[in-house]
Amino acid sequence: MFGKGFPFMNSGGFYSHAIESRRPGGYTSKVRVRDRYNIVGFISSGTYGRVYKAVGKNGKKGEFAIKKFKPDKEGETIQYTGLSQSAIREMALCTELSHANVVQLEEIILEDKCIFMVFEYTEHDLLQIIHHHTQPQRHAIPAPMVRSIMFQLLNGLLYLHTNWVLHRDLKPANILVTSSGAIRIGDLGLARLFYKPLNSLFSGDKVVVTIWYRAPELLMGSRHYTPAVDMWAIGCIFAELLSLRPIFKGEEAKMDSKKTVPFQRNQMMKIVEILGLPRKESWPGLASMPEYSQLQSLVLHRQPSHFHRGSNLEGWYQSCLKNGGYSSTSSAGTPGADGFDLLSRMLEYDPSKRMTAEQALEHPYFTNGGPISGNCFEGIEGKYPHRRVTQDDNDIRTGSLPGTKRSGLPDDSLMRASKRLKE
């Protein structure tokens, strides 16, 4: 089906066809994507480009996900314009990293002005799994499965953090799950090293982390953020696995025409509604945060009712357990009081007090209650649907270049979730 019309490769590979012998300095890939893989369909797209599903050929076994970075375009022809820093980062980090809970890179092929990053194929991701549990009606993800997911996720994150890598974009769509229930942290496009960076971590990318998972210190304009931003996101993911909804589902305020980053008032409100207002007494750095005055104006302009009480996370948690039917006697089991304690330590306002990945792995939630399976599906009846792989020729053909139409969408997972709901 994709034999000839599938525009996975730019047609007319310039060097392969136009120039037979290698001219000095001219670049021709030694390895060709089409010689090694059969593309069987399209998985997703984002601002970076597109992801395809592929199977190995010529003796190469297995299924793969190939991430193709879109090349820049000047006029009608694709030109070499220099690779984006995020592509460079992802290539370098994925090449260097190796851990059972971090997505496994097969190879990188640079061909026809495009980058193809070939990853192992993962059948599921957390967004898809959470979505499956809301259909046809809500049914909770069993507590042992949540525990296994969280344990593997924290293991992967501990590995990244001990290697001085910040992920910076953890969200359910980026947490991949293999068909045998292994968790793989994916999409290191925003990740970077934090060991004595040359420039402050703020200067490179002004906005990081999908808004719902963005840590309060980032919302408050912090320039010195730490691995704690990833732990906040993990806390949000934990909450979402239990409640099947994003815990802090705010609306993103867009950058204005001057490209200044606005205060994310709505997102901060969503957090405050559950955790109460952050306080200088328990978060000493708060008053020196760039957006502190904005936070105060938020208090002045709103009804003070839920601002002046403390955290209601426990209330949120209890009703979450109740709605999900989590209890020691139910088939789903329960994350129990340990689960709440862990959650509250990850959703700690003060980044310096927030639990680290290492501490979280030692938490009673994991150490009590028996062994944890490395297969999060162990003991689970019924199967999760396979990843949707489309063969929508129109979609692929008409887009003159991958990703261009949808670029600018802040969050690929939003797009994908809404697309699924329509179907």
> Which residue, 43 or 93, is less far from another protein as judged by CB?
93
According to the binding rule CB under 8 A, does residue 95 interact with another protein?
yes
Q: Is 339 exposed, middle or buried (0-12, 13-18, 19+ CB in 10 A)?
A: buried
- Say how far apart CA 320 and CA 326 lie, in whole Å: 8
In the bound state with another protein, the residue whose beta carbon lies nearer, of 88 and 100, is: 88
What is d(CA 144, CA 146) in angstroms, rounded to the nearest whole number? 5
Confirm or reject binding of residue 56 to another protein (CB under 8 A). Answer: no
Backbone angle region of 82, left / alpha / beta, with phi > 0 → left and psi within -120 to 50 → alpha: left
Q: Which of 1, 5, 62, 96 binds another protein (CB under 8 A)?
A: 96
Please answer whether residues 181 and 374 qualify as being in contact, where contact means their C-beta atoms are separated by less than 8 angstroms. Answer: yes
136 binds another protein (CB under 8 A): no
CA–CA dist 123, 65 (Å, integer): 10
Residue 204 lies near another protein (rule: CB under 8 A): yes
Complex with another protein: residue 93 or 154, whichever CB lies closer: 93
Closest contact distance (angstroms) between CB of 347 and another protein is 27
Count, residues in the chain: 423
Size of the site for another protein (CB under 8 A): 37
Q: Among 92, 372, 414, 415, which residue interacts with another protein (rule: CB under 8 A)?
A: 92
CA distance 230 to 161: 9
Selected from 93, 176, 177, 332, the binder of another protein by CB under 8 A is 93
Q: What is the DSSP string of 307-363?
A: TSS---HHHHHHHHHHHHT--TTSTT---HHHHHHHHHHHT-SSTTTSPPHHHHHTS
CA atoms of 174 and 125, how far apart (whole Å): 7
Strands 63-69 and 114-120 come out as antiparallel
Which of 5, 100, 134, 164 binds another protein (CB under 8 A)? It is 164
By the rule CB under 8 A, 91 interacts with another protein = yes
Of residues 95 and 390, the one with the C-beta less far from another protein = 95
Binding to another protein by CB under 8 A, coded x per residue (else -) over 3-32, reads: --------------------xxxxx-xx--
Whether residue 256 lies in the annotated active site: no
Kindly list the residues in this chain that would bind another protein in the complex (CB under 8 A).
Answer: 23-27, 29-30, 79-83, 85, 88-89, 91-93, 95-98, 108, 110, 113, 162-165, 192-193, 195-199, 204
Positions annotated as catalytic residues are 169
